[in-house]
Structure formats: C-alpha cells, structure tokens
Amino acid sequence: MSQLLSGLNPQQHEAVTLPLRQPSGEPQSALVLAGAGSGKTRVLTTRIAYLIQTGQVSPHGLMAVTFTNKAAREMLTRVSAMLPITTRGMWVGTFHGLCNRLLRAHHREAGLPPLFQIMDGQDQLAFIKRLLKSLHVDEEKFPPRQLQSFINGAKEQGLRACAVEAPDEHTRRMAELYAAYDEQCNKEGVVDFAELLLRTFELLSRDGLLAEHYRSRFAHILVDEFQDTNRLQYLWLKHLAGRQTPVFAVGDDDQSIYAFRGASAENMRDFERDYPGYRLIKLEQNYRSVGNILAAANAVIKHNRHRLGKNLWTADGEGEPLRLYQAATDGEEAQFVVDEVRALEREGVPCSEVAVLYRSNAQSRVLEHALFSAGIPYRVYGGLRFFERQEIKHALAYLRLVANPADDGALVRVINFPARGIGARTLEQLQDQAAAAGVSLWEAARRRSEARGQKPEGARKGVEGFVALIEAMRAATVGLPLPEVVQHVIEASGLLAHYRGEREGQERLENLNELVNAAGAFVQETEENDLAAFLAHAALEAGEHQAVSGEDALQLMTVHSAKGLEFHTVFVTGLEEGLFPHEQSLLTPGGVEEERRLMYVALTRARQRLYLSFAHSRLLHGQTRYNVPSRFLQEIPAELMKAVGGGAGAPRRAEPATAPSRGPFRPQGLFPPACGSEWHVGQSVLHPTFGRGVIVNYEGRGPDARVQVRFSDAGLKWLMLEYAKLAPA
C-alpha cells in the first residue's frame, strides 16, 4: 500500500485516503477542486485502487464516471497495474455508457424492448427529418437541427415534452413535435443519447426498489471532470447516491467548457448543499507543465471574472519560452507544423507525444493535407470517426435490422443500398402504409411483399427481395459468434460486393474488415457475445474512436476532445479572432469567457513545449477570411513568448511580444484597431435606450467608427460610437 501512496503530496494523500464515513457515521463526500495538471485524475484512480486494496469497497461495489470511454479504459488499465485484480465488469464509464448498462439490465422496467438501439447525432437528425416529413411539417418553419437541439436541450434539463414551458405558439408547436418524436422513438425501439440519461433517471425515480438496490450496491461514487456535468447528470448522480453513498467529485471550474450543453458550475455550488459535511480539498501543485506554460495559462484565465480562484505552482523550472508563429496563410501554418514535427522527431520526441489542437473540426483538413503529403503518420480524434463512416453506418444498419426489424431508421438507410430498384416513391408508399396501419416500416414491407400481384412487378420484387434478405440474415446468424455475425451480414447484404466494384472502395473494404475486428475485440474485452450490446458500443464510441493501427502517430484533435490529456509538445493553431474565440461565442453572454476556459484547457495540455500560431488569411467553408490575431495571445505576458519562423509572406509588423499583456484591444502594431482603445468585440455595453448588449462587430475609425451591438432586448444595431452614449457594462 505504501507503494500506492508514495509520491503523493499531502493534499493528494488526504484525498486518496479520506474515510468513507464521517466520525458521526454520516457518509463522507468530497469535492477536489483544483487546476489543470494538479493530479485530480491521478488521485481519483489511486483512490479506487486504495479503497479496493484496503477492503473498504469491492471492485464491483463502486461506480466511477469519466468523460470519455478512452478515459475509462485508461483508468481501468491503471487500476489493474496497481492491483492484482481483474477490472472486467467494473462500473467505470461515461454517463452514457453506465446508463446504457443499467437500461439493458432493466429494459422491461424502463419500457424499452430488449434490443433497443441507440441513435447518435446523425441518426437522430435523419430520424427528425423523417418524422417532419411524415407529419407534413414545413422544414423551413421548423428546421430539423433546431428541433434536434430543442429536444436535446429539454431532455438535458430533465424535461419531457409535457413539462416544457411554451410562452409562444412556435415553442408550443416545437413541444408537440418533441412529443411526437418521443412517441415515434418508442414505436421503433430507439433512444437518443440524452434519452439514455433521462430514461435511467426516470426509472430510478419511479422504481424505489431498484434505486435502493443500486444505492446499496455502490458503496462509493466517483466523478472526474465534475465541472462539465449537466443538470440532469447531476440529479442522476444525486439520486443514485441517495443519503448513504458518499460521492467523490474532482473538477476545475476554469475548465468548464460545455456550458452550451447545459453543464453548469452551479452543480459545484449545489454540491455543498446536497452533501453536508463534505470535505473540500484543493490541490495547488502542478506536475504537468513547465513554469512558462503554467504562467501563460494562469495569465490568460485571470481575465475571467467569477472564478472560484486557485493558485497553481510548479516545482519544475521555467522551461523554454512559448513559440509564437505568424503565418500568411493556413497552408503556411500547416507547413510550419510539418517542419517542426520533423525537427521534434530528430530531437527524439515521438509523434504520439505531440498534439495539434484546433478550435473547429473544419480546420483539420488543411493540416491533414500537409501531413499526408509529408508522409507524417497522424491520427484524428473527433473528425469523421470510424463508426460514423458511410460504409460502417450501412453495415451497422443491416445489423440493427437483424437485431430489431422495427428500427425504421436502419431500414430507410439500407432498403435500397446497395441498389435493388426500390425508389423514393416506393419508400414513400411504404411510409404512408405504415402510418395508416400504425406499424413499423418493416411490417409494412412484409405485408406488401406478401400481397403478390397488386403492385408493379419491379417494385414488389425489390421490396420482396429485401424482406427475404433480412429474414434470411436473421435465420443464418442465430447463435453465431459476434464477429461471424458481422462478417455474414456485410457479405450477405451485398455491401462487400458493392464496394469491391467501387473505384475508391479499397479503404471502405478495409474499414468493413475492421468492423469484424472491432466485434472480435469487443467480445474479448467484455466477454459478451450480444449483438445489441455491440451496437450500443458502436453508437457510444462513435464520438471517439478512429481506426488506425497502433503506430506512432501525431495526434490531431479539437481542444474539446483534448480535455484531460497531456502531451510533451502541443501546437495550438488558428489563434484568430472569430475562430478562437469562435465568432458565435461573441454573440452569447458569457461566450468569450467560455472560450477563454477552452484556451486554458488548450495551453495546459503541454508538458514541455508549446507552440501558438495564427494565419492572416484562411480558407474556411469555401471562403477566404482575413483575420486578426486572437485576443488570447495578447493576454499572455510578452516575456513568456518568442516569435519563431517567420512565414514567407507574413508581414512582419510589431512583435506580438511587445503587445500589452492586459486590457482590451489596443490600436497598435500587429493587433489592428478594433474599435478604438476603449471598445472591443465581445465587450458588454449599456445603452441609454436599448439597454444591455454585446459588441459583435465594428468598422471605421475615429469620428467614423461604428459598432454593431447585439442588444438583449432590442436586437442587432449599428451605432456611431461618437454619438451612441455607450457605457461599458
């Protein structure tokens, strides 16, 4: 045991060994509140091992919630490295993963079919479009994406359609569509991500015995990245813990980056109220980054207000200065990354220890192109992910039909893929018939294929052939090992033959093969041979996994997906106004502060070396944009950075290193005038007539300067600065 605890600092030691009960016998909960790299995740993992080793909990008597499946796997690997136990079957996973497990075990009580399917975001959008069409709702008036976020937003707050407040006609109609959506989901036996949580929450609230069962089963609940739990997740945890189970949560308010998804620092405050006698533990030593990196991160985050406030220090040296690179174009920026990665390789830093971060997925294309041309192996997280690829989605749709023919979404996807002569019209007819008879599309197709002679020969054959195909697949795969089921389905469906005949089909064939491997790995890892479980796994992993063999590869990802990770070297690219901070954030109250936390996350991923770069022009979404450097660059003290490289066409104006380290945009040098020294984009302002608003744009200078302000009540307005009587708010 001393080995487990050795090397921990006193606060970490306290957190790891905190008893499960207070002296009074009440449960002892704890909140570890600490900055990036202070060892929160390490403490949480070590605590799991410690409690098991000292016999205070059994491996199956605790639940740990992580933010990604990858983090869950890492945690289990680390625990099994510390203890001679098998970690299989332990309740360690993401909120979604754990809810899925609960719902599979209690599907009947939850009102779900045994083989219910999970829809990812794309499936859900397609589902909504289908629904709107069948209800003859105008997509212009009710855009599918808007309805999707309306539904997810409501679910994340724990609200069913009947509980949604509808102050106006439009919202009332949205709520109706939400109700219709839920009804159709139930009919088809599919659930979306948010539903996993809400359904579990409702189940536990309704079924007292079941809730009691889990409360007595889990002697302890641990949560990593607590700052990003949303309201429903928080309530879920609280419900599961009941009065007797202590909760151990670790988090960092400065890294809360999902506010837009309903996560809230409010949960941190409620913790205090909900867990009386809880222990607050602060960790202040950073073990990850050298001094300069830490100082830069601290300086940036200092610009946020309403922080709980933490001091981070490191025993490490200062390290080298941060490297700042200004490129003329995004292509030049990508080339810079290529050159530096090569140099790093020569220095002996393996590619897998280097991460290239960007704010939006769309930015990866140029980087990927440059890396590919240079022959540098790379791996993209969060791009087009393995389980989201077209060929994989098709194969999964066939598998879903084998598991549950009532899955309309799956049927629509593959009824005519590969092509078998079933046109849009036939599908529409099927949809009408299904709606009229109140049955699934599958059932409608089956009836139709039985009704020989009534339909044009070709179409009937097509539908008939499809029905026969799926039935044959179902019969042929009964009792087969999972990988063989997958193999059979991709062959019998005609997908293999189809992609073999495609010019660019090679990669798709490899991916389909990889799906068979993934099924094999799944069986090995989980000892389950259950198709429904595998499909759930595929849906839940869709956000993370990228099928690349285990070679040493450069890591490309968005800042969001880098949360919790660390690398020897990090490139933070695209540091431009409008990109990072993202332009949308400028329109939302608190948006820039959230972007700043995101910047803090980005900076604190690096251990030794940090590159910051921006491009004066960038081609994005088919448009060339001319950019000014991100305000966040200005917030880093000049003495911590040095300019490097000097892109071929980059205008070398004032050194950013001499830019002021604090305050709003200054009209000087590299940072062009925003809208006069007092004003900057993103600033909150007060207008005598229009009230409160945020500056979102500007043009002109001096007496001609105008600003565009988005007012909370009065909407978007252009104002002449000289006359507008604006005051900072």
The verdict on whether residue 37 carries a ligand-binding annotation is: yes
Catalytic residue among 11, 28, 40, 66: 40
Write out the binding residues for ligand ATP, residues 599-628 only, by CB under 6 A: 604
Catalytic residue among 225, 253, 577, 595: 225
Place of tokens 């019998």: 492
Q: 224 an active-site residue?
A: yes
Nearest residue relative to ligand ATP (C-beta): 39
Widest CA span in the chain: 83
Min dist. Cβ of residue 664 to Mg ion (A): 33
The verdict on whether residue 329 carries a ligand-binding annotation is: no
Other beta carbons within 10 angstroms of residue 686's beta carbon come to 14
Strands (E), 330-460: 354-358, 378-380
The verdict on whether residue 444 carries a ligand-binding annotation is: no
DSSP states of 520-535 as a string? HHHHHHH----HHHHH
3-state secondary structure of 26: coil
- Is it true that the peptide bond before 377 is cis, omega within 30 degrees of 0? no
Residue 597 engages ligand ATP in binding (rule: CB under 6 A): no
The verdict on whether residue 468 carries a ligand-binding annotation is: no
Choose the one of ligand ATP, Mg ion, none that binds residue 27, judging by a C-beta under 5 to 8 angstroms depending on kind.
Answer: none
Min dist. Cβ of residue 255 to ligand ATP (A): 6
The verdict on whether residue 141 carries a ligand-binding annotation is: no
Nearer to ligand ATP, 38 or 152 (CB): 38
Choose the one of ligand ATP, Mg ion, none that binds residue 613, judging by a C-beta under 5 to 8 angstroms depending on kind.
Answer: none
Question: For the window 32-61, what string marks contact with ligand ATP as x by the rule CB under 6 A?
Answer: --x-xxxxxxx-------------------
Write out the binding residues for ligand ATP, residues 278-317 only, by CB under 6 A: 287-288
DSSP H or E stretch at residue 608: strand 606-620
Closest alpha carbon to 380 in 157, 543, 507: 543
Q: Which stretch binds Mg ion (CB under 5 A): 314-322, 425-433, 557-565, 619-627?
A: 557-565
The verdict on whether residue 238 carries a ligand-binding annotation is: no
Structural contact between residues 381 and 560, judged by C-beta atoms closer than 8 angstroms: no
The verdict on whether residue 41 carries a ligand-binding annotation is: yes
Q: 41 an active-site residue?
A: yes
Q: 40 an active-site residue?
A: yes
Per-residue burial over 228-263, b = 16 or more CB atoms within 10 Å of its CB, e = otherwise: bbbbbbbbbbbebbeeebbbbbbbbbbbbbbbeebb
Indicate the burial class of 140 (C-beta count within 10 angstroms; 0-12, 13-18, 19 or more): exposed
Closest alpha carbon to 468 in 496, 443, 446: 446
Per-residue burial over 167-183, b = 16 or more CB atoms within 10 Å of its CB, e = otherwise: eeeeeeebbebbebbbe
Residue 258 engages ligand ATP in binding (rule: CB under 6 A): no
Amino acid residing at 390 = Q
Residue 12 engages ligand ATP in binding (rule: CB under 6 A): yes
Write out the binding residues for ligand ATP, residues 520-549 only, by CB under 6 A: none
Task: Identify the residue among 462, 483, 543, 564 touching Mg ion (CB under 5 A).
Answer: 564
Structural contact between residues 281 and 32, judged by C-beta atoms closer than 8 angstroms: yes
Min dist. Cβ of residue 208 to ligand ATP (A): 36
The verdict on whether residue 35 carries a ligand-binding annotation is: yes
Min dist. Cβ of residue 301 to ligand ATP (A): 12
Min dist. Cβ of residue 597 to ligand ATP (A): 11
Closest alpha carbon to 402 in 460, 300, 512, 482: 482
Torsion angle, alpha carbons of 314, 316, 322, 323, to 10? -150
Catalytic residue among 255, 426, 477, 683: 255
Min dist. Cβ of residue 612 to ligand ATP (A): 18
Nearer to ligand ATP, 41 or 364 (CB): 41
- Is it true that the peptide bond before 581 is cis, omega within 30 degrees of 0? yes
Task: Round to whole Å and give the CA distance between 614 and 568.
Answer: 21
Task: Identify the residue among 41, 68, 364, 569 touching Mg ion (CB under 5 A).
Answer: 41
Residue 9 engages ligand ATP in binding (rule: CB under 6 A): yes
Q: 605 an active-site residue?
A: yes
What residues make contact with Mg ion under the rule CB under 5 A? 40-41, 564
Active-site residues, by number, are 40-41, 224-225, 255, 605
What residues make contact with ligand ATP under the rule CB under 6 A? 7-9, 12, 34, 36-42, 252, 255, 287-288, 564, 566, 604
Annotated binding site for ATP: 34-41
